[in-house]
C-alpha cells in the first residue's frame, strides 16, 4: 500500500497539472471502488475551479471553489495517470476518467479496486470519519520527540506496531517504520510506552528524515506504485533494512545480518545489534 511519500508525490503531481483548472467531463466506468460513488459525484466535481490539492496522512484532498472536497485514497494498487495532451486509450482497470477545461485527461487506474473517492465540504472535513482521528503530520513543525512520546505513552505493545496506528502519527506505514526504527537504533519489539526523552527525539527525527528522503526520490516502487506521469519511485534502492533479510548490516562497525520477524501480520526487518 502506498505510504506517505508515495501519496505526497502523487498529490504534488496532480497539483502541478490541475491547479486552477476545471473538470468539464467525468466518466465513471463502474459504480464503485471500495465504496460506492456518491450519486452526484460527477456533478459535484464538474465546472468548479480546483483551488488546492494536498495530502493528509495517506489521503489526497482536492478542494474546489465551492468548498467541495474530494477525499481520495489509492488503496493497494490505485494510481493516477495525467495526459496533458488528452488521449482516448483506456485500460480495463481505468475506472474513472477526468477531462479538464484545458484539455488535460486524468485516468484513475486500480486493478484491485481498494481505493476510494469520497465527497465532503471543507467545513466538515475535520469531522469526516476518514480524517477526524488521524494523528500529527510527521513532516509538520509540531511533530517532535515530546509529541511522539505522548502519543505512545499508553501503548504497551511493540513500538513498530504502534507506529502503524494512524492515530499515533499520520501516514507512516510498514516500510518507513522499519527504516526509521533502524536509523534511530530502536528495537522493533520494544514497548512503545518506553519511547521517551532522547529516544523519542531520535525516532521523531528519523521518521521525518526518512520520509523527506523518500519524497525526494519519488517514493518507493515495490509492486504497483508509480507517480502521475508513470515514472517509478527510487527510494527502494536506499532501503537500509527493509527487504534485506540475511544481508550484512550497513553499519560498518556491525558484524550482524538483517533479520526478519512478523508483527501483526507484517514483515519487520531489523538489526539485532544496532537496535536496542
Q: Which pTM value belongs to this model?
A: 0.91
Fill in the DSSP letter of residue 158.
B
The residues carrying an active-site annotation are: 2-3, 58, 266
Q: Are strands 68-73 and 59-64 parallel, antiparallel or unpaired?
A: antiparallel
SS3 151: helix
pLDDT band for position 167 (cuts 50, 70, 90)? very high
Fold of 145-270: Helicase, Ruva Protein; domain 3 (1.10.8)
Our CA angle for 227, 172, 217, nearest 5°, is 35
Cα–Cα distances in Å, from 17 out to 82, 97, 153? 8, 15, 42
Q: Which residues are within 8 A (CB) of 154 and not within 5 positions of it... i.e. 6 or more apart? A: 193
Q: Are strands 259-263 and 266-270 parallel, antiparallel or unpaired?
A: antiparallel
Instruction: Quote the pLDDT of residue 86.
Output: 63
Query: What is the overall mean pLDDT for the chain?
Result: 93
Q: What Rg value do the Cα atoms of the chain yield, rounded? A: 20
Per-domain boundaries in the chain? 4-127, 145-270
Phi, psi at 13, each rounded to 5°: -65, -40
The hierarchical CATH code for the domain 4-127 is 3.20.190.10
Q: Is the pLDDT reported for residue 235 higher than 90?
A: no
Amino acid at each position: 500500500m502506498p505510504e506517505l511519500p508515495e501519496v505526497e508525490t502523487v498529490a504534488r503531481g496532480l497539483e502541478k497539472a490541475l491547479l486552477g483548472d476545471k473538470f468539464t467531463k467525468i466518466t465513471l466506468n463502474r459504480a464503485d471502488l471500495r465504496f460506492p460513488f456518491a450519486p452526484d459525484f460527477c456533478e459535484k466535481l464538474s465546472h468548479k475551479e480546483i483551488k488546492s490539492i494536498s495530502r493528509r496522512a495517506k489521503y489526497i484532498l482536492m478542494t474546489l471553489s465551492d468548498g467541495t472536497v474530494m477525499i481520495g485514497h489509492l488503496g493497494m494498487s490505485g494510481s493516477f495517470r495525467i495526459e496533458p495532451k488528452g488521449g482516448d486509450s483506456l485500460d480495463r482497470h481505468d475506472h474513472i476518467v477526468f477531462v479538464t477545461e484545458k484539455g488535460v485527461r486524468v485516468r484513475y487506474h486500480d486493478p484491485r479496486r481498494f481505493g476510494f473517492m469520497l465527497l465532503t465540504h471543507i467545513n466538515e472535513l475535520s469531522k469526516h470519519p476518514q480524517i477526524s482521528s488521524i494523528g500529527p503530520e510527521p513532516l509538520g513543525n509540531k511533530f517532535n520527540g515530546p509529541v511522539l512520546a505522548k502519543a505512545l505513552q499508553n501503548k504497551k505493545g511493540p513500538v513498530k506496531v504502534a507506529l502503524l496506528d494512524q492515530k499515533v502519527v499520520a501516514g507512516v506505514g510498514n516500510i518507513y517504520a522499519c527504516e526509521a526504527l533502524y536509523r534511530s537504533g530502536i528495537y522493533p519489539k520494544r514497548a512503545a510506552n518506553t519511547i521517551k526523552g532522547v529516544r523519542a527525539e531520535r525516532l521523531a527525527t528519523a521518521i521525518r528524515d526518512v520520509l523527506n528522503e523518500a519524497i525526494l526520490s519519488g517514493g518507493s516502487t515495490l509492486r504497483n506504485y508509480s507517480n502521475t506521469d508513470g515514472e517509478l519511485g527510487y527510494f527502494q534502492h536506499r532501503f537500509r533494512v527493509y527487504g534485506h533479510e540475511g544481508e550484512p548490516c550497513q553499519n560498518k562497525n556491525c558484524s550482524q545480518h538483517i533479520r526478519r520477524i512478523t508483527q501483526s501480520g507484517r514483515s519487520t526487518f531489523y538489526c539485532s545489534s544496532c537496535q536496542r
